[in-house]
Chain A
Amino acid sequence: MRVTVSCPEALISDANHLAQVLAFGPADAMTYRGLSWRDAAGNLYAAASFEARDEWVIGAQSALARPAWDTEQAISMAAASRAQAALVFAQEATLALPDKLTAIAGPDGPAALAMMGLSPVEVE
């Protein structure tokens, strides 16, 4: 299942802790980077889109557990929990908000971001 997530600027750090819990390793601390999307009010967001395993969908909505690989406790489980509490999981159009981690399941990334009311930040 394709899942696309928009992450507001204020939640990037917390969301990257959650991404490490739900994915595979420390490199996933860079899942949300580049504030390349904006909403109608001008708030900035990073975005990620990926094929999510069933485990990801279940894990994102269950009690979080520190991954076995994180033996040095690099992940802040408190930060990951804050991000999880801000997660809105939808299968229909849902506007992104600057205090929510918005995830839409189903459509491809650009379509999902449009359903969140986001447009790209013009560069160059």
Chain B
Amino acid sequence: MFMQMAARRRRMGGFSPLALFAAGEPGAWLDPSDLTTLFQDDAGTTPVTAAGQSVGRILDKSGRGNHATQSVFASRPIYQVDSGGRGYLSFDGTDDFMVTPTITPGTDKVQVFAGVRKLSDALQAIFLEFSPSTATNNGTFRMTFPTNSGVAGYAWQSKGTVLSGVVSPTNYPAPITTVVTGIGDIAADNATIRTDGVQAVVSTDQGTGNYLAYPMYIGMRGGTSLPFNGRLYGLITRFGANLTADQISQTERWMNARTGAF
């Protein structure tokens, strides 16, 4: 086990997602594999110490202070550990979600890396949405897992003033574990989805403008609809200059080490 971990570290080259925020980029880095970042209450006074406990607060490791919280007991995800020893947040597909404080991007570029396990394709679900709804707000994005009810894919949609839509192939039937990357660049007409380190689809026009200032919802639309049924192994959202292909690959491999997708 130790040798496997050491080999994994060598392959990662000592990479930490913290490097993505070195220039003060807005965003959030949530890492359920780090038990020290999890609390049972939203105030952060009672730490999570064991699997099966609900999570009311997960600390943002980016340094931006965008901790995600849930104050309602029934709506808190549960911390669990999978058969490979990987910690994750379990969202129940009914009412679980978390939300960050308002994040002010100040840019039209975003990169999102998510380690997930999708447990059902029955109902369309919001895994991540920047603002209460991309349907009614500009300067936003969303990840929809599954893409639509009964469709076994992942969707990434970015919006300046026009909602782009990029959808992975549909050969991701639940239950399935995947590292999903979404890249948005509004001015450059680039909206890209990558799955398990492979570029799947690129879309184009997203209209104009920057990403605007909103809270980020994890697991539901605005806390009221489209609940996600699955696991969150990790989530990195970064607003800032486009990353190099090597940075994207490093981040995906880092996420995969915590997800076990590919």
A120 adjacent to B123 (CB under 8 Å): yes
- Which listed residue, B42, B96, B122, B224, touches A36 by the CB 8 Å rule? B224
Which residues of chain B are near A108, meaning CB under 8 Å?
A: 92-93, 229
Asked if B74 and A49 sit within 8 Å, CB to CB, the answer is: yes
**Interface locus among A24-32, A60-68, A70-78, A82-90:** A24-32
- Counting contact residues on chain B (CB < 8 A from A), the size range is 20 to 34
Task: Given A109-B93, A123-B225, answer yes or no on A51-B75 (Cβ-Cβ < 8 Å).
Answer: no
Q: Which applies to chain A's interface (DSSP): helix, strand, loop or mixed? A: mixed
Q: Is A57 an interface residue (CB 8 A)?
A: no
Establish whether residues A121 and B94, one from each chain, have CB atoms under 8 Å apart when the complex forms. Answer: no
Number of residue pairs spanning A and B whose beta carbons lie under 8 angstroms apart:
79
In the complex, what distance in Å separates the CA atom of A23 from the CA atom of B42? 14
B94 touches A49 (CB 8 A): yes
Contact between B95 and A48, CB atoms less than 8 A apart: yes
Interface members, chain A 93-115 (any B CB < 8 Å): 108-110, 113
Which chain B positions have C-beta within 8 A of A4?
94
The reply to whether the CB of A50 lies closer than 8 angstroms to some CB of chain B is: yes
B117 an interface residue at 8 Å Cβ cutoff?
no
Question: Which chain A residue has the least Cβ–Cβ distance from B226?
Answer: A123
Question: Which of B52, B74, B96, B122 has the most chain A CB atoms inside 10 A of its CB?
Answer: B74
Q: Say what secondary structure dominates the interface of chain B.
A: loop
By the criterion CB–CB under 8 Å, are A31 and B93 in contact? no
Check A28/B221 contact, CB under 8 A, given A51-B54, A109-B95.
Answer: no
The reply to whether the CB of B161 lies closer than 8 angstroms to some CB of chain A is no
Q: Is the CB of B94 within 8 A of A113?
A: yes
State whether A28 touches B225 (Cβ < 8 A). Answer: no
Task: Determine whether A124 belongs to the interface, using a CB cutoff of 8 Å to chain B.
Answer: yes
| Residues of chain B with a CB closer than 8 A to A113's CB | 94
A34 within 8 A of B: yes
* B226–A50 CB distance below 8 A: no
Contacts of A49 in B (CB 8 A): 74, 92-96
Cα(A51)–Cα(B120), bound, Å: 20
B72 touches A28 (CB 8 A): yes
Interface residues of B (CB under 8 A from A): 41-42, 52, 54, 71-76, 78, 92-96, 120, 122-123, 135, 221-227, 229
Assuming A36-B224, A48-B75, A50-B54, what are 20 further A-B pairs, CB within 8 angstroms? Answer: A4-B94, A24-B41, A25-B71, A27-B42, A27-B72, A30-B72, A31-B74, A47-B95, A49-B92, A49-B93, A49-B96, A50-B76, A51-B54, A51-B78, A109-B93, A109-B94, A109-B95, A110-B122, A110-B229, A120-B225
